Amino acid sequence: MKEKIQFPKDFWWGAATSGPQSEGWYGKRHENVMDYWYRVQRNDFFNGVGPDVASDFYHKYKDDFAMCRQIGMNSFRTSIQWTRLIKDLETGEPDPEGVQFYKDVIAEAKKNGIILVMNLHHFDMPIELLQKYGGWESKHVVELFAKFAKTAFEAFGNDIEYWTTFNEPMVIPEAGYLYGFHYPKLVGKGKEAVQIIFNINLASAMAIQEYRKMHLNGEIGIILNLTPAYPRSDSKEDLDAAAFADDFFNRSFLDPAVFGTFPKTLIEILKKDNVLWESDEKELEIIKNNTVDFIGVNYYHPKRVKAPEADHFENWMPDRYFSDYDMPGKRMNPYRGWEIFPKAIYDIAKNVQDNYGNIKWFISENGMGVEGEEKYRKENGEIEDDYRIEFYEEHLAWLNKAIQEGSNCFGYHAWTPFDCWSWNNAYKNRYGFIAIDLNDQKRTIKKSGYWLKDVADNNGYEY
Ligand code: BG6
């Protein structure tokens, strides 16, 4: 028999995108690493599609907010592009056109009664800062980020209630410096990746420091991709591998964000291996004193790990301490090739509740990417994405169980409101509640959009 899965009062029902993935290349702005990558290596991008038009949010934000409202969303996340807001990257001087654009976006969200979560960095480092200083490897760039943050708070501080500093900061070292799937596409740069982890934590804390200095009314947090690391077995070797993967990929950002300190076990290993980041007392103080008010958690798939297999690395790599484990029989998303494991949402919630002071948090991304979704379009034009509805209902049921058990979760954001540009995967994997036809930018609500409206209206669903 079905039962009602009921969520707490004022629960957030929404979805997330980001500036670089939705706005398109309009107005005056600097080039970011993704724009540059597309300019120099176009065939790295699915179907050769780049960020020039993206989802044309720059022109269509009014229609988009109206449609988001129509499908029941009470909240929405995007990001301010560093490359759009800032005219002078060294001084942090704003570009009036950029300021005006985000002011208009903020006003429009308000008009539609939509709570806006505004993020500051979603993989979009200005290319000049990478080429000139080494991007996140550089402490000078950390300072420039803090200036950008300060400019953003000065311009919109009182209009935004919920700020976040970074989206999935771990992806920057992981994808750009360890495994080479995002620009600068480096592989095996463990030491650099470790320094970047520190520098981004410092950048986030410095942004929070700027925010606190202004005594604004809202709250500030960070969005982390917390990926539970499940061991292959209960053997000591597999358990150690899982503990390391958790320290490195999750806790290296979660602990400083919430407690202002890094996991001791991680520091010991990095010290022993002679790859610990360079830091000074002042920087550690800033991290210690500028923790978050809330966290956002992006969850797509778990990590399965086993004791390390390889024993030789040219440079230091986290893979010295774990290997990925391809678990037989795991349930897969046939389109995106990611494992589907809804219970991980419950495990994340319990971890936050039990080990992180039950800090308030929300699911800031969760979603099912589908390639070739057009084949599910019906005659009336609607995409019948039952697979996505099923995916959400399963994940939400586990989230609800955790909330019933006391987890301090205040919302659920899917990835994404409308299909958007996903870096080198471009529009390969569609995630939206609203489909976008890339030929004419026409929007159509998918079946999951109407489902969301129902869930939001009832603050729950029958399951
Ligand atoms: C998330 C990122 O991890 O994954 C997004 O925050 C990204 O920026 C999303 O678009 C989906 O990725 P993909 O590769 O499946 O399109």
At 410-454, the pLDDT tens digits run: 999 999 999 999 999 999 999 999 999 999 999 999 999 999 999
At 282-317, the pLDDT tens digits run: 999 999 999 999 999 999 999 999 999 977 788 999
Q: DSSP 3-state assignment of 445? A: strand
At 362-419, the pLDDT tens digits run: 999 999 999 999 999 999 999 999 999 999 999 999 999 999 999 999 999 999 999 9
State the average pLDDT over residues 171-180: 98
At 12-65, the pLDDT tens digits run: 999 999 999 999 999 999 999 999 999 999 999 999 999 999 999 999 999 999
Active-site residue 405, yes or no? no
Position in ligand 1 atom list of the atom nearest CA 225: 3
User: Which of 168, 174, 192, 283 is the catalytic position?
Assistant: 168
State the average pLDDT over residues 75-95: 98
The 10 Å CB-count burial string (b at 16+, else e) for 142-181 is bebbbbbbbbbbebbbebbebbbbbbbbbbbbbbbbbbee
Report pLDDT for 439: 95
Position in ligand 1 atom list of the atom nearest CA 423: 10
DSSP string, 128-154: HHHHHH-GGG-HHHHHHHHHHHHHHHH
Report pLDDT for 49: 98
Active-site residue 339, yes or no? no
Task: Indicate the fold that domain 4-462 takes in CATH.
Answer: TIM Barrel (3.20.20)
State the average pLDDT over residues 53-79: 98
Look at phi and psi of residue 443 and say left if phi exceeds 0, alpha if psi is from -120 to 50, else beta: beta
User: Which of 23, 283, 365, 373 is the catalytic position?
Assistant: 365
Position in ligand 1 atom list of the atom nearest CA 421: 10
Share of the chain above pLDDT 90, in %: 98
ipTM associated with this complex = 0.98
Share of the chain above pLDDT 70, in %: 100
Residues with CB under 6 A from ligand 1: 21, 167-168, 225, 298, 336, 365, 369, 415, 422, 425, 429
Report pLDDT for 311: 74
State the average pLDDT over residues 108-122: 98
**What's the rounded Cα separation, in Å, for the pair 164 and 327?**
35
Report pLDDT for 458: 98
pTM, 2 dp: 0.98
For ligand 1, the distance from its centroid to the CA atom of residue 121, given in whole angstroms, is: 14
Residue 74 has pLDDT above 90, yes or no: yes
For ligand 1, the distance from its centroid to the CA atom of residue 298, given in whole angstroms, is: 10
User: φ and ψ at 230, to 5 degrees?
Assistant: -95, 130
